[in-house]
Structure 1
Amino acid sequence: MSRTTSSASLSRTALRMLAVVLVGAVATVLGIAIHQSATSTASPSTGSPTDIALGPDATSVEQGGLPEGVTAFDEGYPGVDRLEPDLLSALQEATTAAAVDGVDIVINSGWRSREHQEQLMRDAIVKYGSAEEAARWVATPDTSAHVTGAGVDVGPFEGTLWLSEFGARYGLCQIYGNEPWHYELRPEAIDQGCPEMRADATHGPGDGH
């Protein structure tokens, strides 16, 4: 075999290897895109039952509805403004600290009117098939921490993950094991750590969600 023929053969081999690498890279990118698309349209069971029941635009701002991306610093929304002042202050401190770590914390649901909470409860009963099962996810207006401004649902996933690790520094604690997005203020947590989580609001005393 001549040197020219050998070089041509090597060139063809290199091109084939390059083509394989490029095809693999394209497949990887497409796979990631497909996964992200599937995640964004996944079953509602992966999110907060509150969000599943109504969605972001199903109630008015006056009733506590919030558009996407609202933070503890966004004034003019009753869902934020009517949170307990100490809770709101703690959220603002945590939001600022999380931002330094490159993590966003948004408020998906804060204060809610009694009417809004009642509708959430009715929707949950339809969704879960009974008042008993619905009570694991949505409280009555008389027991909801959201109605009193003492509870807040946060996101996105990275935000809840950050709060699960650092929230106690600000007195912010996850209360229910089945709701990683629901936080309430427990000032003693700053020195003592957050109390043990309850499985859901039907287990033990405490405010509702």
Structure 2
Amino acid sequence: MTSSQRTSSRVLGKEHGAVPDGLPVFAEAPAVANLDPDLLDALRRAAADAAADGVTFVVNGGWRSWQYQEQLRRQGIAKHGSEAEAARWVTTADRSAHVRGQAVDIGPAEARAWLSEHGARYGLCQIYRNEPWHYELRPEAVEHGCPPMYADPSQDPGTRP
């Protein structure tokens, strides 16, 4: 058995970016601490302002290791029945903004609603219409608003080969 096969048969944990129960945005767990510093700063500023409105952000996904992203992709293929269908929800590690620390998945619904209304002020934009939890940093949004969303990751030129 190769090391890749061993990795694929075990559950990867927090050190690979797994977030089983959600994390506060100020956590030092790898999924949060390994986010791009500019994204993390914007996220923490937004979370502090949202807290003043009584809204709490929870990080349900953030930075992920290459191995963990590939594990999620394989699970997506099994769940959705094909690589093409899975690509609407999860991308390969070499194309993943999560692996680069440039994407964060936010919950609960109240936090997503708050970000939907106020996120552009921090450069935080929902990128995919089918993933209301997935946010990435778009600094130009502060002055120009968030760009139009892609229907799903398979439509994003940055996630396609």
Taking structure 2 as the reference length, the TM-score comes to: 0.89
Deviations 1:117-163 (A, max 9, x none): 11101010010000000000000000000000000101001111110
- CA positional deviation for 1:59: 3.2
Greater Rg over alpha carbons, structure: 1
What are the within-5 Å matches in structure 2 for residues 145-160 of structure 1? 145-160=97-112
| Equivalent position of 2:4 in the other structure | none
Of 41, 63, 67 in structure 2, the residue corresponding to residue 111 of structure 1 is: 63
**In the aligned structure 2, how far is the partner of 1:99 from the partner of 1:112?**
26
Q: 1:69 Cα deviation (Å)?
A: 4.2
Instruction: Tell me which of 21, 26, 35 is aligned to 1:73.
Output: 26
Give 3-state SS (helix, strand or coil) of 1:96's partner: helix
Alpha-carbon deviation of 1:61?
Answer: 1.0
Q: Does 1:193 align with 2:152?
A: no
Report SS of the residue matched to 1:154: strand
Q: Distance in 2 between matches of 1:103 and 1:138?
A: 28
From 54, 73, 87, the counterpart of 1:135? 87
Equivalent of 1:171, from 101, 123, 127? 123
Residue in 1 aligned with 2:47? 95
Aligned match for 2:16, one of 63, 74, 86: 63
Q: Secondary structure at the match of 1:93?
A: helix
Matched, 1:181 2:130: no
Corresponding residue pairs, total: 150
- For structure 2, list consecutive stretches of 5 or more residues without a partner in the other structure: 1-10
The 1-side partners of 2:35 and 2:59 are apart by: 11
Aligned to 1:26: none
CA distance in 2, matches of 1:177, 1:187: 19
| 2:38 counterpart SS class | helix
Identity %: 59
Amino acid paired to 1:178:
N
CA RMSD of aligned residues (A): 1.3
TM-score scaled by length of structure 1: 0.69
Distance in 1 between residues matched to 2:90 and 2:113, nearest whole Å: 22
**Structure 2 equivalent of residue 44 of structure 1:** none
